[in-house]
Structure 1
C-alpha cells in the first residue's frame, strides 16, 4: 500500500526554480560520485523534483539511522502538548526503579530538555554501556553512566539520550513511539509505511531503527516548515517547532577553527534532535546520507536517502546548486528543460554489473557448496556474522548466492543485466524490514563471478567476488558504507563434495 497523502506536483519553474538548477545538482552528485538512493524536493508545498535510483523505488521504506531522532523529538513535542510532561521535568523522576545506587548531582539535575539537545553532561556516548553491560535493561544502563559535567554545559552526541526519550514516551503513554505517533502524526500526514526496531525491553530504539519512505521524510519536513500546521489543523505546537529548530546548544567542539565554522554544517548548533545548518536552514539527518533538510527562507524541503559516507559533500551540492537558484516569483516556462529533467529523474538507475553471462569456470563452480573455516574470520565482529559456507546456484535469469553463517542461511538473487529482487532470509520474521534485496551479477573474468547486492531498505550494499580455482573459492566482500571496515576478510573455501 502506498502512502495516502500526495503532494501536488509542479514544474520547478512555476515554483521559482530552474529545471537546469536541479540538473546541475544531479550533475554535481554524479561528478562527486556520491551515492544517493532517492530525493524529493518540495517548494511552496509542491514537489518540483523527485527520483529514485533503481532498484530503489518510491514505495520502498528505507532505514533512516539517526534521522529517526527527529521523529522521536516530534513524539516528545506531541506528549508535551498533551500535558504528559514538560521539558524541565527531571529524568530521574520517570524511572525510580532503574536508578543507580548513588545518584550524582549531575544526574539529579538532568532534565528532558538536556536529552533533547544532547546536553546531558556526558563527555562520551552512553550507548555502549547501555546496550552491552546491563542484562538488556537499557534504561538502567543509560542512567548508570554518571554525567561528568553539569547538564546543559557540554554537547555530546549521545544515542542513550534519545533512547531515554523513547522510553519516557512509552512510560507515560503505555505505547511505543510508533504506536503513539500513528494517530497523531502518521495518519494525519498519510504515512502508512513504517517500521521501528525495538530493544529487548520492547521499546522503540528512538535514536535509530526507524524505516519509512522518502515521501514520509518530506512530509515531516513540510510539517516543520509550516510550523506544525497540516491541512488546516495545528498537529504540533508552533512553539515546539520553533524550539526544536532553534540553536539550543553549541555543537562545535573546543578548537573548532573559523574555517570549520564557515564550511561545516556540524558546528552550527543543535536543537531538539535537529541540527542547525548554514544559510539559516536546519535538518534531521542519519548516517550515510539520510536527510530531512528544511530551508525556511526558501520555503523548501529536501528529503534524501543514500548510502554515502561524505554527508557534508551532499549538503555542499545543495548549497551550491539548489539553494541559490530558488527565487521569490515564478520563472518563465521552459518546457524543453523541464522535459529533459523529467526524463532524467524517471530513469535514474544504478548500473548493473558489467561482464558475461557465463564463463569457462561456470560448469565446475556453480551448484557446489564451499565451506570456510571459522578461524579465517574474527570472532568478535558483531557487525557481520561469520560465514560457514557458500553456494552459487544458476538461475534462468542470473544466480542465487547462498551464504550460511552460524545461525541462518541467506539467499541473494542477482540478475544478469538487470536487478532481481528478493529477501535475504527465506522466512522473514514478522515486521522485519531490512532483509529486502536487489542484486546484479556477471562473470568479470574466466574464473571470477562478481555479485552486487543492495539491501534496498537500508543504506548498505555489498559486492561479493567469487574467484574459483579447482575445488576452491576465494570469496571477498566489500561494503559501500559501514561502521566498521569496508572490506571483509578474504575467505578461502573448499568444496564440500
Structure 2
C-alpha cells in the first residue's frame, strides 16, 4: 500500500521560521563531512518541510542502520501490551532449549529489560565474539558469552542485545518483525513497503537492516510524540512510550551537566537515545528520528556522514531557534523561498562516507 500523505502546512502557520530551516540547509550543504539525503520536519502534527537530495526521492527506501532498533522497540511495546513478553522475565526463559548449556549466573540473570536498555552487563560490543561462538545462532553465542558485570549495571552498545530482543518477539509471535508490525504499526500509520534484512537463521536481525522511507521515520516519531496515539486512535500504550524514551542506562556516568554532554552521553532508553534536547532514534551515518516534545516537533533525516554529532549540532544551532511558540505573521515570502529551495534540492552532492559492513552499523 502507498502511504497516505501527511497533513502539511506553511512553516509560519505552525510557528516555524523558514529562515532557520534555510540556514540549516546552507549549513549541512556547506559541511564537507556531511552528505545530506533527506529532511522532513513536522510541527504540531503538520509537515512543514520535506526535501530530498539527488538521487534520493520520497519513495526510495533508505537503509536505516540502527534506527531500525527503535522499530524493534516498538514491536516489543506491542508484545508487552499483549502479554506475550515480560520485561522482568529472563532472556533465557524464551529459549528453553539453551537452558542446560547456559550456566553463567550473570547470563542466566539477564532480563528482557536489560537487553532493551543496552545493559546486558558486557563492557563492550559482543557481536564478533558471539558470532564466533555460534555462527548459526547469535542468541546462543550471546548467551554463551558471560557478562563482565551484573546485568543492569553498565552500558555497552551491543548489537546482540537487540538481536536477542528481536528474536524474542519473533519467537513469541511466530512472525517476523515486519509481519508483526504490519497490522499494528505500519498499516495504521500509512507506511508502505519496508524490507528488513535476515540472517542465516531466517530471523530479521532487529539491530539494523530495516529499509524504509524518510516518511516512515517521520511517522514513527510523530506516533511517539503523541504518546502512542495516531489520528485519534491509540496504537501504542502511553506507558510504553514513556518507558522506551526515558533514561534507563547512563551512557556517561561521570558527566552530569547537559551543557557538557555530547548527544551520546545523555543516556539510553529502550532502543532510543536521550539527547541534549528530547530523544531520538539513531542510525549510523546520519539516520535520525529526533523527537522534541518541548517544541511539539519531529525531525527526520537521512544522510551519509562519519560525523553524526555535526548533524545534531546543526539541528540544535539552526532548527531549535526556528521553533516559535506562536504562528508567525507576514512571513509568506520566507515560506515561499524555502518552498523553492526544497523543490530544487535534487542537485549532485559531493561523495559521502562509504557504506559500512551491515553488522558493524550503529
Which TM-score tier does this pair reach, normalised by the shorter chain?
Answer: over 0.9
Q: For the structure 1 residues 220 and 102, does the alpha-carbon distance in structure 2 shift closer, same or farther, using more than 3 Å as the test?
A: closer
**Could you tell me whether the CA contact under 8 Å between 1:309 and 1:481 is conserved in 2?**
no
Once the two structures are superposed, residues 73-126 of structure 1 have per-residue CA deviations (whole angstroms, 9 ceiling, x without a partner) of: 000000000011111111111112134624222112111000110000011222
Q: Secondary structure at the match of 1:266?
A: helix
**Could you tell me whether the CA contact under 8 Å between 1:155 and 1:249 is conserved in 2?**
yes
The structural deviation recorded for 1:12 is 0.7
Which of 219-228 and 128-137 deviates more? 128-137
Residue 211 of structure 2 corresponds to residue 338 of structure 1: no
The structural deviation recorded for 1:258 is 6.8
Which structure ranks higher in relative contact order (CA pairs < 8 Å, sequence separation ≥ 6)?
2
Once the two structures are superposed, residues 242-270 of structure 1 have per-residue CA deviations (whole angstroms, 9 ceiling, x without a partner) of: 000101110116xx567896240000000
- 1:320 corresponds to which residue? 317
Normalising by structure 1, what TM-score?
Answer: 0.69
- 1:93 corresponds to which residue? 93
Which of 163-172 and 131-140 deviates more? 131-140
Mapping of residues 331-480 of structure 1, within 5 Å: 331-351=328-348, 480=353
Once the two structures are superposed, residues 201-229 of structure 1 have per-residue CA deviations (whole angstroms, 9 ceiling, x without a partner) of: 11100000000000000000000000000
**Could you tell me whether the CA contact under 8 Å between 1:284 and 1:293 is conserved in 2?**
yes
Partners of 2:79 and 2:332 lie apart in 1 by 47
- 2:262 corresponds to which residue? 264
Partners of 1:269 and 1:223 lie apart in 2 by 21
- 2:146 corresponds to which residue? 146
The structural deviation recorded for 1:36 is 1.0
Greater Rg over alpha carbons, structure: 1
**Could you tell me whether the CA contact under 8 Å between 2:133 and 2:144 is conserved in 1?**
no
Q: Which has the higher helix share?
A: 2
Partners of 2:257 and 2:227 lie apart in 1 by 32
5+ unaligned residues in a row in structure 1: which ranges? 354-460, 462-478, 485-497
* Aligned residue pairs, count: 356
**Could you tell me whether the CA contact under 8 Å between 1:91 and 1:111 is conserved in 2?**
yes
Residue 125 of structure 2 corresponds to residue 128 of structure 1: no
- 2:70 corresponds to which residue? 70
Residue 277 of structure 2 corresponds to residue 284 of structure 1: no
**Could you tell me whether the CA contact under 8 Å between 1:125 and 1:157 is conserved in 2?**
yes
Once the two structures are superposed, residues 116-140 of structure 1 have per-residue CA deviations (whole angstroms, 9 ceiling, x without a partner) of: 1000001122211333441412221
- 1:421 corresponds to which residue? none
Residue 351 of structure 2 corresponds to residue 481 of structure 1: no
**Could you tell me whether the CA contact under 8 Å between 1:98 and 1:139 is conserved in 2?**
no
Normalising by structure 2, what TM-score?
Answer: 0.94
Once the two structures are superposed, residues 324-381 of structure 1 have per-residue CA deviations (whole angstroms, 9 ceiling, x without a partner) of: 221111001322211111111111134279xxxxxxxxxxxxxxxxxxxxxxxxxxxx
